[in-house]
Amino acid sequence: MDILYISPDFPSNYANFVKQLHAEGVRVWAVGEADFFGMPADLRACIRWYARTDLNNWRTTESAVSDLLEVKHAQGFEGTFDVVESHNEAWLRLEAFLNERLSIPGITLRAVDRLKKKSVMKRIFLESGLRAARGAVVSTVQEAVRLAEELGYPVILKPDEGVGAGSTHRVESRDRLEALFPEFREDCLLEEFVPSPIVTYDGLTDREGNVVFENSLIYGEGLIEYAQGKDTFFYVSRRLPERLRQVGQSLVRRFDVRRKFFHFEFFDRDGEYLPMEINCRPPGGAIIDMMNYSIDGDLYRAWARMLMGRALDLPSEKKYVVAFLGRKDTPHALGHAQLIARLGHRLVEYAENPPLYWEVMGRFRYIFRCPEEADARELAAVARQEG
In this model, does residue 178 exceed pLDDT 90?
yes
Q: Per residue in 224-259, pLDDT tens?
A: 777 777 899 999 999 999 999 999 999 999 999 999
At residue 162, the pLDDT reads: 74
At residue 150, the pLDDT reads: 97
- The percent of residues in the chain predicted with pLDDT above 70, rounded, is 98
At residue 223, the pLDDT reads: 65
DSSP character for 373?
H
Q: Is the CB of residue 37 less than 8 Å from the CB of residue 43?
A: no
DSSP β-bridge partners for residue 31: 6, 51
Q: Is the CB of residue 5 less than 8 Å from the CB of residue 75?
A: no
Could you count the other beta carbons within 10 Å of the beta carbon of residue 34?
14
Range of weakest confidence among 86-100, 113-127, 159-173, 310-324: 159-173
| Residue 88 identity | N
At residue 367, the pLDDT reads: 98
**Confidence bin at 165 (pLDDT 50/70/90):** low
Could you count the other beta carbons within 10 Å of the beta carbon of residue 373?
15
Q: Per residue in 90-101, pLDDT tens?
A: 999 999 999 999
At residue 167, the pLDDT reads: 81
At residue 220, the pLDDT reads: 86
At residue 267, the pLDDT reads: 95
Q: Is the CB of residue 323 less than 8 Å from the CB of residue 368?
A: yes
At residue 226, the pLDDT reads: 78
Mean pLDDT, rounded, of the chain? 94
**Confidence bin at 163 (pLDDT 50/70/90):** low
Exposure of 185 by Cβ count < 10 A (0-12 exposed, 13-18 middle, 19+ buried)?
Answer: exposed
Of 7, 63, 4, whose CA–CA distance to 34 is shortest?
7
Q: Is the peptide bond before 11 cis (omega within 30 degrees of 0)?
A: yes
Q: Per residue in 283-301, pLDDT tens?
A: 988 999 999 999 999 999 9
C-alpha span between 376 and 324 (Å, rounded)? 9
- The contacts of residue 24 (CB under 8 Å, 6+ apart) are 301, 304, 305, 307, 308, 310
At residue 222, the pLDDT reads: 67
**Confidence bin at 186 (pLDDT 50/70/90):** confident
Q: How far is CA 297 from the centre of its chain?
A: 19
State which H helix or E strand residue 262 sits in: strand 261-269
Domains, the chain: 2-114 (3.40.50.20), 134-192 (3.30.1490.20), 198-383 (3.30.470.20)
- The contacts of residue 344 (CB under 8 Å, 6+ apart) are none
Of 98, 96, 120, 117, whose CA–CA distance to 108 is shortest?
96
**Confidence bin at 358 (pLDDT 50/70/90):** confident
Of 115, 260, 124, whose CA–CA distance to 202 is shortest?
260
Q: Per residue in 212-226, pLDDT tens?
A: 999 999 998 766 777
Q: Is the peptide bond before 282 cis (omega within 30 degrees of 0)?
A: no
At residue 357, the pLDDT reads: 84
Range of weakest confidence among 66-75, 145-154, 160-169, 260-269: 160-169
